[in-house]
Amino acid sequence: MKTRKALILFFLSIISLNIYSQLKVKENGKTIIGLDRSDDDSSNILSASVFGTGGEYRYGSKIAFGDFGRYETYSWNVFIGEYLNYDSDRLWLHGKNGIYLTYSNGDYVIGSYDVNNGNIFNFNCEVWSNGIKLTSDERLKININKISNSTTNLLKLTGVSYNLLDKQNILKNKKQEKSSNEFNTTSLTEKEKKDEVFFEAYNANVLNAKPKHLGFLAQDLQKVFPELVDKDSLGYYSVDYIGLIPVIIEAFKEQQNAIDSLNQRLAVLVSKPISKVSPNKSTLPIETEMLTYPVLDQNIPNPFNTSTTIGYYLPNTITNASIYIYDMNGVQLKRYSINQRGKGNVTIQGSELNAGMYLYALIADGNVIDTKRMILTK
């Protein structure tokens, strides 16, 4: 029996020595976790050091919070440590379901990545940078299609100026209103009361600091470019303004094509006599036999009440062409496919539309050639 007790005491002493060797508190109050390196931190700057088990430099240290789990079951839950399994000197901040950066009492989220909200890192603050580059390699894209009708769609948008409220403060105020009856300010210490006054003043400054912004209302943009608008888990909309850049570029190209077409038409008008055409004839009012570009003419008669004729010219190089009819809000009402090349016309019956003003456009091979107005009377 004595021998057994002696063995138990011996093993307990070995275990206690082993534990003590892994966790030390030095005379200066510095805490050491892991195998200590006596020559580290010679200036005694650190209050605590955590050493790993890797190599001479004790790399690979990590601290887990709560349950940690097993790597093979994807259960590395919440920890902070060194990235990779060698002396990388890179911080690894890991949360299996996400990472939240907060301040104050934790209910103001500065930035967050939550796997339940998709592959999104959300910042609730201004983000400043010397530059931003987005991945755009052709090899990483599928279903690539040319953007069409850019000018027409951009004309449907309305730019606005506005003051932006702070979403986090709105959510915080709602939460505070909900729990105000349960909060007892008399139990606060003097320091807590000072902190409360400070953050109330800070939040008031945030809400009152409303610099002017320029942009779009997401709900309006969604009607025209739904692919540029997203909604978060709380129901708030966000806009991909960078995604508007290719739309603007294509609209610029469409307008430039229209300008080039007008310049060529002007050159023809200057160099050739204008044909005298009666309103009942379908020929175009300019000489077009030698043109190499499409032409859209003003409808005749205009205004009209029974029918009107839209003249056009298409060179043989055009593959696909149509005339579209829009209301003044940009909503497409009619489409007339054009198969004839050279001079031609499309007749619009007044009975197919309500009285009012309309836009019509010639679109050839995906480009807006020209847009004009016509008026239908009762």
Q: What is the DSSP string of 110-156?
A: EEEEEGGG-S-EEESS----S-------GGG--S-----SHHHHHTT
pTM: 0.55
pLDDT at 280: 45
Class of CATH domain 248-376: mainly beta
Look at the block and give the residue holding tokens 């020559």.
39
Which letter does DSSP use for residue 273 in this model? P
pLDDT at 366: 86
Q: Sheet holding 321-326: strands in order across? A: 332-337, 321-326, 356-364, 367-376
- Residue 361 CA to residue 298 CA, distance in Å, equals 10
Q: How far is CA 82 from CA 51, 90, 222, in A?
A: 10, 6, 43
- Residue 344 CA to residue 284 CA, distance in Å, equals 8
Question: Residue ranges per domain, the chain?
Answer: 1-51, 248-376
Give me the amino acid identity at 71.
Y
- The per-residue pLDDT for range 304-350, each reduced to its tens digit, is 989 999 999 998 888 899 999 998 888 899 999 998 888 899 999 98
- The per-residue pLDDT for range 198-216, each reduced to its tens digit, is 767 766 665 565 678 899 9
- The per-residue pLDDT for range 261-308, each reduced to its tens digit, is 788 777 766 665 544 444 444 444 445 456 778 889 999 999 998 999
Which letter does DSSP use for residue 355 in this model? S
pLDDT at 52 over 60: yes
- Residue 17 CA to residue 363 CA, distance in Å, equals 85
Helices and strands, counts by H and E, the chain: 6, 20
pLDDT at 330: 85
Token duo for residue 141: 């894209």
pLDDT band at 233 (very low <50, low <70, confident <90, very high): confident
pLDDT at 290: 60
